[in-house]
């Protein structure tokens, strides 16, 4: 090998490394940005600062006896609303970020100024999580899902009963406050996933379909420390039609 071909080879290696380093962040961006369309989260998608409490599709007492009216009202009017107020207060000082939707803020929270990032992740995350939680319940809920989502549940977990058992284990073994999710990945595989505090699956390659709030404020008045009893009652109000709708839009080509 002469010097000329040695230096040419060396230069090519350097160039390849440089290209790989340059491309890597874009690969990561593409990998983590799944489809989020207006229809997926109709209560959230268009909303920008100042955010407001989304309407509830049912009356507070409509989920009785499984979820009691008082818990639901306090949950929505105090916990959820306070998160939205705090998010608005944080955004008040950042006019350049006020045109962004909640999903845009959450998906790109890494790029936000330090003083705004934590508020978005905590209060914005809470706003997203609670919106999906309330929308995922219905007085006509319960039963089992149908169609493609049912097939995927069977494929991944063997049966709906096994899925429920695994979801319950995830919920009861979560230490402290958090959420249990049923998510879909890019390969159309379902996952049970847990997050603590107000984290969202936006940093993962997951699309959220169903979410359970296991913060004590979601069940303590009626169920006290019996989280499993709350969870078993919650299955009776899970709106599988809503999950199917999210699934259809997430997988729509
Ligand atoms: Mn909550």
Q: What is the reported pTM?
A: 0.83
Cα 133 to ligand 1 centre (Å)? 8
Measured CA to CA, the distance from residue 103 to residue 36 in angstroms comes to 8
Cα 144 to ligand 1 centre (Å)? 24
Cα 18 to ligand 1 centre (Å)? 46
Residues near 50 by Cβ (< 8 Å), separated by ≥ 6?
88, 91
pLDDT of residue 251: 75
Cα 30 to ligand 1 centre (Å)? 31
Rounded to 5 degrees, φ, ψ at 194 are: -115, 145
One-character DSSP codes across the chain = --HHHHHHHHHHHHHHHHHHHHHHHHHHHHHH-----TTTSTTTTT--SSP-PPPPSS-GGGGTTTS-HHHHHHIIIIIIHHHHHHHHHHHHT-GGGTTS-HHHHHHTGGGS-HHHHHHIIIIIHHHHHHHHHHHTB-TT--S---HHHHHHHHHHHSSHHHHHHHHHHHHHH--SSEEEEEEEETTS-EEEEEEETT--GGGTTEEEEEEEE-SGGGTHHHHTT-HHHHHHHHGGGB-HHHHHHHHHHHH--
Cα 130 to ligand 1 centre (Å)? 6
pLDDT in tens, 28-86: 333 333 454 544 566 677 789 999 999 999 999 999 999 999 999 999 999 999 999 99
pLDDT, average across residues 226-243: 96
Cα 249 to ligand 1 centre (Å)? 26
Cα 138 to ligand 1 centre (Å)? 17
What HEC string does 184-211 produce? Answer: EECCCCEEEEEEECCCCHHHCCEEEEEE
Cα 245 to ligand 1 centre (Å)? 23
Q: Which one, of 205, 208, 246, lies nearest residue 30 by Cα?
A: 205
Please check the confidence at residue 24 and state whether its pLDDT lies above 70.
no
Cα 79 to ligand 1 centre (Å)? 6
pLDDT of residue 146: 93
Cα 26 to ligand 1 centre (Å)? 34
Residue 203's CB is within 10 A of a number of other CB atoms, namely 14
Would you place residue 19 in the very low, low, confident or very high pLDDT band (cuts 50, 70, 90)? very low
Cα 96 to ligand 1 centre (Å)? 29
Cα 161 to ligand 1 centre (Å)? 26
pLDDT, average across residues 164-181: 95
Would you place residue 1 in the very low, low, confident or very high pLDDT band (cuts 50, 70, 90)? low
């Amino acid at each position: 090998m002469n010097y000329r071909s040695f230096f040419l080879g060396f230069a090519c290696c350097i160039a390849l490394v440089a290209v790989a380093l340059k491309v890597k962040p874009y690969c990561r961006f593409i990998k983590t940005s799944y489809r989020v369309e207006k229809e997926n989260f109709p209560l959230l998608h268009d909303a920008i600062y100042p955010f407001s409490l989304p309407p509830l599709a049912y009356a507070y007492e409509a989920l009785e006896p499984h979820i009691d009216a008082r818990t639901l009202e306090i949950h929505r009017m105090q916990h959820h609303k306070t998160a939205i107020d705090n998010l608005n207060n944080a955004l008040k000082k950042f006019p350049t970020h006020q045109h962004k939707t909640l999903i845009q803020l959450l998906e790109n929270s890494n790029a936000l100024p330090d003083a705004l990032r934590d508020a978005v992740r905590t209060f914005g995350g809470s706003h997203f999580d609670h919106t999906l939680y309330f929308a995922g319940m219905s007085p006509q809920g319960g039963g089992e899902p149908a169609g493609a989502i049912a097939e995927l549940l069977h494929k991944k977990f063997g049966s709906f009963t096994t899925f429920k058992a695994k979801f319950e284990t995830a919920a009861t073994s979560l230490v402290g406050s958090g959420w249990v999710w049923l998510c879909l990945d890019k390969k159309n595989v379902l996952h049970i996933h847990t997050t603590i505090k107000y984290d969202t699956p936006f940093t993962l390659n997951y699309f959220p379909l169903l979410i359970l709030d296991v913060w004590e404020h979601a069940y303590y008045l009626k169920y006290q420390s019996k989280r499993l009893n709350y969870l078993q009652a919650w299955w009776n109000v899970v709106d599988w039609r809503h999950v199917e709708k999210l699934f259809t839009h997430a997988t729509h080509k």
